[in-house]
Every structure is written in C-alpha cells, then in structure tokens.
Chain A
C-alpha cells in the first residue's frame, strides 16, 4: 500500500474505471435515499429520533450490554467479550477447533474485515467463503471492501465478469443475470457443506438478547440456518434497547443505505435452534468486540462516533469519496466515517493522521447521516489533535505562525496587503497569475488566478465612505422599526439567559 492518502488518491484519480463505477453507483444510492426520505416525510424528525436513541444507548452502554448478554445467555446463546482483535480471533479459532470445523460461510460483516478474520481462518487451515455477492467478488479478487455496504462498488460489470470467469475456469459474459447465477450455484454448495456460519450484526436488542440482520440476498439467512454452528461478530456499540427502537432504525437504515423502504430480508435471531424449530444452528456464539470502541466513551469530541449505524450514506454523498473511492483511505472503513473512525479506533495513531486532511469539510456527510453525527467537525478535531499532540506538517506550522502574526494586528495585515500588490505584479502576465511557486503550485495546476484589485478594501474605505455619505438615502422608518425590533428581541432573549 502506498504511504499517504494523497499518493493513494493520486493513483485512484488516474483510474477512470474506478471513478466511473463509483460515481455511477453512489449517484444511484444518494438519489434513491433522497426520494425514499421525501416519500416517507418528516425525515428530520426521524433523524432526531434516531439520534436520541443512539445517544441514550451509548450513554448507558454498560447497562444495555449487560442486559443483552444476560438475555442472550438465557436464550441459550454463548456470549463472549473480546477486548482486542487478537482476542476475538482467538475465541473464533477456539470455537472452530472444538467443532473440528474445516469450512466457514460468511455473510457480510464489516467488523470481520476490521479483525482480518478471513486471513486468520485461512492460516488455521479453514476455508472461508464470503456469500454476499459483493464480498464474494472482492474475496476472489483478493481486495478489501471499498464501501461499507457495496464492497465491490469500484468494479464495473466487465471487471466483475473477469474475476468470476477466473473462478469458473471459463469466460462468463458480462451480464448480471449470468454472473449472479454462477455465484448462486457456486455458493449453494458451500452453504450445504459449511461447518460454521459467520454473520455480522446490524443491531442487537437488549430487551430480548436478539440479533438483527438486514440484507438483500438471503445469504445471511442461509448462513444463520444451515450450518450447525453460528458465530456472530458484533461491535460492542451495535446495541439498541428495545424492539420498538428497531422500528426507528429499520426506518432509517435501509432508506439511508440504498433508498429501500426495507431490505429484502430482515432477520431477528433469538438463541440457537429450539426443539420445535425446523432449522437453525445448534450452537450460537455471539462475540462482542471492543477493538478500540471504548476509547471513544467519555470523549466529548468523539463519543458520537459510536452512534454510527453503518449505512454508508456519508460515503454516497461525499464529493471526495466520489473522486478517489474507498481504497484510497487505506483501511477497512472508508469515506467520511472511515476518515474519523480509523484513527479513533487506534487512539489517533500518527500513521492515520493524514486522512483527516482529505476533506473539504463540506458537511455533506453530516447532512446525510441518519443519526446526525457531526463528522465534518470531528475531522477538524482530529486535525487539532495532530497539531497539539501529534506531528504537524512543518511547512503548515510555519504558515500558521505567519497567519497569526499578520491577523492579530490590522496594521500588519494592511502592510502585507500593500506588499502583496507589488508582489502579484511580479508573478502575473496580462493580468493573470499562473505561477506554480510554493503553495501556489497545486492551486495553479488547475486554475488561473486573476490579479487582485489595485487597492485592498481597507485602503479604499476612505474614498468609499465619502461616496456613501453623498449617496445615503433617507432612512426608511419601516426598516428602522424592523432593526429596532430585532435588537429588542435579542435583548429580551438575553434577559432569560441571565
């Protein structure tokens, strides 16, 4: 992997297949989301409700986790807690060993990507097959996911046909139905043979100890019914208190993710197979994983990260993600949520500091987020931490010292503006600046700058002031009245504050 997000982005920007594929699908998803939200109505109220549920749950996470674990155990599930990714992997391997498992079928799970579970199982000699079509494709291509819900979003149909043809041992046409049919036949055998089914967890319901899965392909239902043993990997923040809360989440999640009113399948799983059940696993293990999540608890700037419901809406609206795709972020989670979550999960390690700068801070992520996580603010907080606790860029540090010197006193600023007038003449030709000097290099690679006006506003002010005095219209009593009313309202408001 290349060293910095900038280098990875440069490579991605050269890849037209990737950029077109990402643009095409994110476009479809975000417009789908917009229509779904509009059709439902009261979207802002739904978001507020979703946010309130998540805020409450995370504020009382210890209580709800204990309640969930107690209830799940009462229903016959084995509940494990893993503090680190190594612990989570060790618990999984121990379950596999006891069951003499040789093969695992998996439904989509971002947390398993975070743990690099497939590699760990492969090292232990266990075959692992991804059964979500997108995950299956990138597993065959030996790539990490580039989107939270559409892992192969960066590939077009032709590239997917190529990947599946290699597996098929013959050339498959780039037709969706043929490719899906091939995957279906292939995966059907795997489902029937597998010793362990491994799932993620969209939500865990504390009041009943149940886990809830949203999916469109039916593969998660196969994974959770056919194999004898089921392992569910669950981030410790996936909890919601009640089934009533799920109604709100089920309203927000599919709409935000794909613009669907509901996913094709929605499974609620409470405990392993009971005697009267016709199918289901005989053994159900739920591994609750921390892996850096608890570092956010009590942190006023980042605790809300745990509210995330992993819908991917922030990726679909992000103008940076659209240009560079998910792999440029360099970690399991990409896009705006990834840019914040990745450093947060490893306590803002310096190696991930650069991702926070790959954002124009446009706030589209916040606007799209169904639980209103202020990701655009968190990106600034991360930069602030780099400056105060990390290793900031020296050139930038120097620039900011200069900024402070000029901007703390208007007389210095005025001098600099006058000097700038002289300087820009040296750089310009025919009233336009194209010079690629210092910090102007990147700017002028894509832009030509018009010369600034002869005089700064502050230097022109005495002349303008005279003109304004001459031309000032007579005061309009209605306008006066309105201004006075605004001031009066403000002062009344302040009385209550005091």
Chain B
C-alpha cells in the first residue's frame, strides 16, 4: 500500500513539526509514509485570489507527485478541501488532468479523517494531562465536513480535559491574503477569537489547520499570552511518546 504525505506549503516552510508528527504516528501503526519531493502547494492562495492559471501551475505538481499513491494524507482541512472541491473546477477544461484531479480527491484525506474513518483508529494511546480547547477551522469543517473526527481523537486522550471554546465555529480571521489585504478587519476578527480562547481558560489550543493556528498564535504572542498552540497531530504524537 502506497501512503504518501502531502505536506502543504505552510507545514513545509514554517512548521515541519506537524508533518513529522503525522509520519511518526503512521509509523507507530506500521504504515511507512513516503514523501514525493516534487509536490509544492495545492494552489489555494492563487485560486482564492482569482489567479487560476497560477493556481493550476502549483496544483499540477500534486497531480504528478501523487499519481502512484493509494492514499494521500495532509495536515490541513483547508488544502484537502481545495483538492476535493476546487480541483475539479480548476481542471474542468482539461480531461486528462481532470481525471487525475478526481482520482486525487478520492484518495486524499485530512489527517484526522484518515485515522478515524479510514484506519478506524480512535484511541491512539496518547496521554496529555492538560486543559485543551479546539478551534474547528472553517474550510475543514464546512467545505470538507470534518466535524467529529478530531473531537473523537481528543476525547480518547488520557488525562486530557476538553473545554468548550465559545463561538468556536467563528472564523479566526486568517483567510490567506485576506489577512494582508484587509488587515484591519482580519485583526479585529483574530482579536475576538483570542478573547474567546482566553475565556475558555484552556492551557492549549488545538486545531487542524496551520494557517489558522499561526494566525491565532501570532496574536496571542502579540498580546503577551503564552498559551500553547498545537496541531492535533503534534498533540497526539507528544502524547504517545514514551507511552
């Protein structure tokens, strides 16, 4: 079985720890993951800005990279959603690439989806004795429909206290280029999100998308709050280490 990692450009460039955590968790369950190096990015930054030619140039690297894969695992609900819902639109006029895009969508899973739905693993044997709150990222939950999977994994972590995040489903204000183009609106949104995170009194904020997590972590740091912000894979991997 050929299981590949789609690292996503953010994890590749900024926070490789998320990709490492996923690869290590898979290895613990006897799955050897490969990393086809010709992959770059799903193209979403360009697609969402209306630059579809530019988006295609990036997206086609994924079509080529994962042509031979049976499963593709990604640490991002947003990038997985891009493949599932917008790749068919992006390659609508190219029958050869469209076929590849459809096949890629079928075999690409967001990390928590893969563990819970495909592997049928809900309890990974992690211990994490902290108060944790969960931010459901918009694209992962609304576009891709990943809602219960991460909660299932969290509820099965020993010692973890999951506390509710007020208005959890509200966007954190990231939105890719939106955070730069409409920085004042984005700033107001992340401020409100962080207010709610602090209100939850959690020690750790966990999520499934680095874009949102870097945004929230950046504003927490700006306000001098040293709450830990983690990707779910990192939390679980830390929790199983030494168990």
Residues of A at the B interface (CB closer than 8 Å) are 6, 9-10, 13, 319-320, 323-324, 357-364, 366-367, 380, 382-388, 392, 396-397, 400-401, 403-404, 406-410, 413, 417, 420, 432, 439, 441-443, 445-450, 452-453, 455-458, 460-461, 464-465, 468-469, 471-476, 478-480, 482-484, 486-487, 490, 493
Contacts and interface: CB of A to CB of B under 8 A. Distances in A.
A8 B41 CA distance: 34
Contacts of A432: 221
Contact of B51 (A400, A410, A439): A400
A464 B40 CA distance: 19
Nearest to B23: A468
Given A386-B50, A446-B219, A457-B7, 15 more contacts: A6-B181, A324-B185, A360-B174, A360-B179, A362-B138, A400-B49, A407-B40, A407-B57, A447-B219, A448-B221, A449-B218, A464-B20, A473-B29, A479-B29, A480-B1
24 contacts: A319-B192, A323-B192, A359-B178, A360-B174, A380-B47, A385-B50, A400-B51, A403-B45, A403-B46, A403-B58, A404-B54, A407-B61, A417-B13, A442-B186, A449-B221, A450-B221, A453-B14, A456-B13, A464-B23, A468-B27, A471-B27, A483-B1, A483-B71, A487-B1
Contact of A448 (B7, B30, B138, B222): B222
Contacts of B180: 439, 442-443
Nearest to A483: B1
Given A13-B188, A482-B118, A490 B181 contact: no
Contact of B52 (A358, A384, A461, A484): A384
A358 B142 CA distance: 19
A404 B70 CA distance: 28
A35 to B, nearest CB: 15
A136 B28 CA distance: 67
A446 B187 contact: yes
A472 B27 contact: yes
A432 B139 CA distance: 28
A482 B119 contact: yes
A323 B189 contact: yes
Interface string B110-122: 0000000011110
Interface stretch (B127-135, B149-157, B165-173): B165-173
Given A408-B61, A476-B30, A380 B38 contact: no
Nearest to A421: B13
B167 to A, nearest CB: 9
A404 B175 contact: no
Contacts of B178: 357, 359-361
A interface, by DSSP: helix, strand, loop or mixed?
Answer: helix
Contact of A457 (B11, B49, B61): B11
B43 A407 contact: yes
Nearest to A301: B89
Contact of B183 (A359, A403, A441, A475): A441
The 8 A-B pairs of least Cβ separation, nearest first, read A442-B183, A360-B175, A447-B218, A383-B50, A362-B171, A446-B187, A457-B16, A407-B58
A397 B214 CA distance: 25
A403 B45 CA distance: 9
Given A13-B184, A383-B49, A400-B46, A468 B1 contact: no
B106 interface: yes
Given A380-B50, A446-B219, A457 B142 contact: no
A364 B171 contact: yes
Nearest to B43: A407
B179 to A, nearest CB: 6
Given A366-B142, A406-B40, A10 B219 contact: no
Contacts of A445: 183, 187
B118 to A, nearest CB: 6
B138 A387 contact: no
A358 B182 contact: yes
Contacts of A366: 142
B158 interface: no
A420 B30 contact: no
Contacts of B123: none
A164 B184 CA distance: 33
Given A319-B173, A473-B27, A479-B31, A403 B54 contact: yes
Given A443-B179, A457-B19, A482 B139 contact: no
Given A446-B186, A490-B107, A360 B51 contact: no
B15 interface: yes
B68 interface: no
Contacts of B40: 406-410, 413
A456 B16 contact: yes
Interface string B37-74: 11111010111111111100110110000000011000
A476 B29 CA distance: 7
Nearest to B190: A446
Contacts of A320: 182, 185, 189
B39 A410 contact: yes
B195 to A, nearest CB: 12
